[in-house]
Amino acid sequence: MLRYNHHLKQPARKLRKNQTEAEQWLWHHIRRKQILGVQFYRQKPIGPYIVDFYAPKAKLVIELDGSQHQQPEQAGQDAARDDSLSALGLTILRFDNQQALKETPAVLEITRRVLVNALANPP
């Protein structure tokens, strides 16, 4: 099991109660093992971070990014975060909110393909 900062438990709960529209929409499509029977968790603490969605069986993290993630400073922080999570053996998929809302079939297909690969080639 991956370690996490116990102080993130309450902030994660708060984030689950206050999801963005894009997070709600994607959650509607991936919850309850809808893709290949894989369980996802939302707003999951991992290490010093809270990730948007996490599938432990596939070691997959999905992050949905708002427009602020396109700012150079935030992009650098996201890259460092991704490197840290990758060092834990996790695969990270990033989509922007508009992709999740307007290109849902493509987002779900990419997610499905990554899951197929992860399940076929466990670490």
Q: Where residue 64 sits, what CATH number does that domain have?
A: 3.40.960.10
CA-CA-CA-CA torsion sign (8, 9, 10, 15): positive
Residue 75 domain boundaries? 6-120
Helix 21-30 to helix 104-120 angle (10° resolution) is 50
Give the total number of structural domains in the chain: 1
Q: Which residue has the higher pLDDT, 14 or 75?
A: 14
Is 75 inside any structural domain? Answer: yes
Indicate whether this model's pTM tops 0.85.
Answer: yes
- Asked whether residue 1 is assigned to any structural domain, the reply reads no
- Residue 95, in any domain of the structure: yes
Q: Which amino acid is at 55?
A: A
Q: Is residue 68 part of a domain?
A: yes
Residues facing 65 on adjacent strands: 96
- Whether 40 is covered by a domain: the verdict is yes
Lowest mean pLDDT among 70-74, 96-100, 119-123: 70-74
114 found inside a domain: yes
For the chain, what is the mean pLDDT? 92
Contact status, residue 97 vs residue 20, Cβ threshold 8 Å: yes
3: pLDDT strictly greater than 60: yes
